[in-house]
């Protein structure tokens, strides 16, 4: 059965397309465009799931939400790109599968809101930027010691981490001053499956 991905432009769902390309799974993309003024998903997504958010993936008779949960399901289903065999690598893998959204995305979302507030948001920006910088400094030290987040092999943890790091490159001050992160980002974006996912999903502001 073909997997259906309800995909919103410039969103977390790009990671699901990427995973499916890495797995070689057949899938269908149903695209949705953000409202240009509000940047919110269209109401039509609520017909798929009451929250009206993306990604939503229809697979094996279920409509799944939450990027990390979808990745866990698809990785377990395929038996590929999951945790490394060694105990420390497996711990790192699970850590980053949750860290991407649970810890790193909140300051990035705060910076997005601050940017929309204009002058009113300026006083808060230095504090939130320092919070994000703490994350980026730690991630730089992590990737300076190994090629991928979980260890020596590329895993779904790297795919989960792509969106917050791409967002950091776009609006969080990430640049060549953190060469280990930038090396990792350049490498993952050059993967053929990543490029195929871009073609399938349409324009993506963070590539």
Q: Which residues pair with 56 in a beta bridge?
A: 6, 65
User: Domains in the chain: how many in total?
Assistant: 2
User: What is the SS3 assignment for 1?
Assistant: coil
pLDDT string in tens for the chain (207-residue length)? 789 999 988 889 999 999 999 999 999 999 998 877 777 788 888 888 888 889 999 999 999 999 999 999 999 999 999 999 999 999 999 999 999 999 999 999 999 999 989 999 999 999 999 999 999 999 999 999 999 999 999 999 999 999 999 999 999 999 999 999 999 999 999 999 999 999 999 989 898
Residues 98 and 181 in one domain: yes
User: What's the predicted TM-score (pTM) here?
Assistant: 0.94
Residues 99 and 75 in one domain: no
In this prediction, residue 72 carries a pLDDT of: 98
Two tokens, residue 5:
């991905």
Q: Is residue 21 part of a domain?
A: yes
Domain of residue 146, CATH code: 1.20.1050.10
List the domain range (segments joined by +) for residue 97: 87-191
In this prediction, residue 34 carries a pLDDT of: 84
Please name the residue ranges forming H helices in the chain. Answer: 14-23, 67-78, 87-99, 105-117, 125-143, 156-171, 179-189, 192-201
Q: Is residue 44 part of a domain?
A: yes
């Amino acid at each position: 059965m073909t997997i259906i991905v309800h995909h919103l432009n410039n969103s977390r769902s790009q990671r699901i397309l990427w995973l499916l390309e890495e797995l070689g799974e057949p899938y269908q993309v149903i695209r949705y465009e953000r409202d240009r003024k509000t940047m919110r998903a269209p109401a039509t997504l609520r017909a798929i799931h009451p929250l009206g958010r993306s990604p939503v993936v229809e697979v094996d008779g279920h409509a799944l939400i939450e990027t990390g949960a979808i990745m866990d399901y698809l990785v377990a289903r395929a038996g590929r790109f999951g945790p490394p065999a060694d105990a420390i690598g497996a711990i790192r893998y699970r850590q980053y599968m949750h860290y991407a959204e649970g810890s790193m995305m909140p300051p990035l979302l705060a910076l997005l809101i601050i940017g929309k507030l204009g002058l009113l948001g300026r006083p808060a920006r230095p504090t939130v930027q320092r919070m994000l910088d703490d994350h980026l400094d730690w991630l730089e030290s992590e990737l300076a010691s190994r090629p991928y987040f979980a260890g020596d092999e590329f895993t779904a943890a790297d795919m989960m981490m792509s969106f917050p790091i791409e967002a950091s490159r776009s609006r969080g001050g990430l640049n060549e001053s953190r060469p280990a992160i930038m090396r990792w980002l350049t490498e993952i974006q050059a993967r053929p499956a990543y490029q195929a996912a871009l073609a399938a999903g349409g324009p993506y502001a963070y590539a």
